[in-house]
Structure 1
Amino acid sequence: MVFFAILVTEVLFVLYTLLTLAGDGRVTQLVFPVAILVLLSRPSAREFFLAR
Protein backbone atom coordinates (compact mmCIF):
# COMPACT_ATOMS: atom_id res chain seq x y z
CA MET A 1 0.00 0.00 0.00
CA VAL A 2 2.82 2.42 0.87
CA PHE A 3 4.55 1.60 -2.41
CA PHE A 4 1.52 2.66 -4.46
CA ALA A 5 1.01 5.83 -2.42
CA ILE A 6 4.61 6.89 -3.00
CA LEU A 7 4.40 5.93 -6.67
CA VAL A 8 1.23 7.94 -7.28
CA THR A 9 2.58 10.95 -5.40
CA GLU A 10 5.82 11.03 -7.35
CA VAL A 11 4.07 10.56 -10.69
CA LEU A 12 1.78 13.47 -9.84
CA PHE A 13 4.78 15.64 -8.93
CA VAL A 14 6.44 14.84 -12.25
CA LEU A 15 3.25 15.48 -14.24
CA TYR A 16 2.61 18.78 -12.43
CA THR A 17 6.15 19.93 -13.08
CA LEU A 18 5.91 18.99 -16.76
CA LEU A 19 2.55 20.71 -17.15
CA THR A 20 3.75 23.93 -15.52
CA LEU A 21 7.10 23.90 -17.27
CA ALA A 22 7.42 27.39 -18.67
CA GLY A 23 11.15 27.68 -19.13
CA ASP A 24 11.67 28.95 -15.60
CA GLY A 25 14.34 26.40 -14.82
CA ARG A 26 11.85 23.93 -13.43
CA VAL A 27 13.60 21.04 -15.10
CA THR A 28 15.76 20.79 -11.97
CA GLN A 29 12.59 20.14 -9.96
CA LEU A 30 12.25 16.85 -11.84
CA VAL A 31 15.49 15.41 -10.47
CA PHE A 32 14.25 14.32 -7.04
CA PRO A 33 10.88 12.78 -8.10
CA VAL A 34 12.50 10.99 -11.04
CA ALA A 35 15.24 9.62 -8.77
CA ILE A 36 12.60 8.26 -6.40
CA LEU A 37 10.71 6.66 -9.29
CA VAL A 38 13.92 5.03 -10.52
CA LEU A 39 14.63 3.68 -7.04
CA LEU A 40 11.08 2.37 -6.75
CA SER A 41 11.44 0.54 -10.05
CA ARG A 42 14.44 -1.46 -8.78
CA PRO A 43 13.43 -4.48 -6.67
CA SER A 44 16.55 -4.32 -4.47
CA ALA A 45 16.00 -0.64 -3.63
CA ARG A 46 12.30 -1.25 -3.04
CA GLU A 47 13.14 -4.01 -0.55
CA PHE A 48 15.65 -1.75 1.22
CA PHE A 49 13.42 1.32 1.55
CA LEU A 50 10.07 -0.39 2.08
CA ALA A 51 11.18 -3.32 4.26
CA ARG A 52 9.36 -3.73 7.52
Structure 2
Amino acid sequence: MTFPTAKAAPVGEDRTVMGRIVGLLPPSVSLKLARKSIQDYSEQAGHDLAYKLQWSVPG
Protein backbone atom coordinates (compact mmCIF):
# COMPACT_ATOMS: atom_id res chain seq x y z
CA MET A 1 0.00 0.00 0.00
CA THR A 2 1.41 3.39 -0.90
CA PHE A 3 0.14 6.76 0.23
CA PRO A 4 0.36 9.90 -1.87
CA THR A 5 2.75 12.42 -0.39
CA ALA A 6 0.75 15.57 0.21
CA LYS A 7 3.55 17.19 2.20
CA ALA A 8 7.25 16.42 2.24
CA ALA A 9 8.61 14.77 5.38
CA PRO A 10 11.69 16.29 7.03
CA VAL A 11 14.93 14.98 5.52
CA GLY A 12 15.89 11.65 7.03
CA GLU A 13 12.54 11.09 8.76
CA ASP A 14 9.70 8.90 7.56
CA ARG A 15 6.13 9.89 8.23
CA THR A 16 4.03 7.59 10.38
CA VAL A 17 0.79 6.12 9.09
CA MET A 18 -1.14 8.66 11.17
CA GLY A 19 1.08 11.45 9.85
CA ARG A 20 0.28 10.39 6.31
CA ILE A 21 -3.45 10.28 7.03
CA VAL A 22 -3.42 13.72 8.65
CA GLY A 23 -1.45 15.03 5.67
CA LEU A 24 -4.36 14.07 3.42
CA LEU A 25 -6.99 15.89 5.49
CA PRO A 26 -8.12 19.41 4.62
CA PRO A 27 -6.39 21.99 6.85
CA SER A 28 -9.69 22.95 8.52
CA VAL A 29 -10.23 19.35 9.67
CA SER A 30 -6.69 18.86 10.97
CA LEU A 31 -6.90 22.21 12.81
CA LYS A 32 -10.20 21.17 14.42
CA LEU A 33 -8.66 17.87 15.53
CA ALA A 34 -5.61 19.67 16.94
CA ARG A 35 -7.79 22.12 18.89
CA LYS A 36 -9.84 19.26 20.33
CA SER A 37 -6.70 17.35 21.32
CA ILE A 38 -5.22 20.41 23.06
CA GLN A 39 -8.50 21.09 24.87
CA ASP A 40 -8.79 17.48 26.07
CA TYR A 41 -5.18 17.43 27.29
CA SER A 42 -5.63 20.77 29.04
CA GLU A 43 -8.76 19.56 30.85
CA GLN A 44 -6.95 16.40 31.99
CA ALA A 45 -4.12 18.56 33.34
CA GLY A 46 -6.58 20.84 35.16
CA HIS A 47 -5.90 23.89 32.99
CA ASP A 48 -8.45 26.40 31.77
CA LEU A 49 -7.84 27.76 28.26
CA ALA A 50 -10.56 30.41 28.53
CA TYR A 51 -9.44 34.01 28.23
CA LYS A 52 -10.96 37.46 28.06
CA LEU A 53 -9.45 40.63 26.62
CA GLN A 54 -10.33 43.87 28.35
CA TRP A 55 -9.45 47.23 26.88
CA SER A 56 -9.39 50.27 29.09
CA VAL A 57 -8.65 53.91 28.49
CA PRO A 58 -6.15 55.43 30.95
CA GLY A 59 -7.39 58.36 32.96
With the length of structure 1 as denominator, give the TM-score of the two structures.
0.44
**Larger of the two Rg values belongs to structure:** 2
With the length of structure 2 as denominator, give the TM-score of the two structures.
0.39
Between 1 and 2, higher relative CO (CA 8 Å, sep ≥ 6) is seen in 1
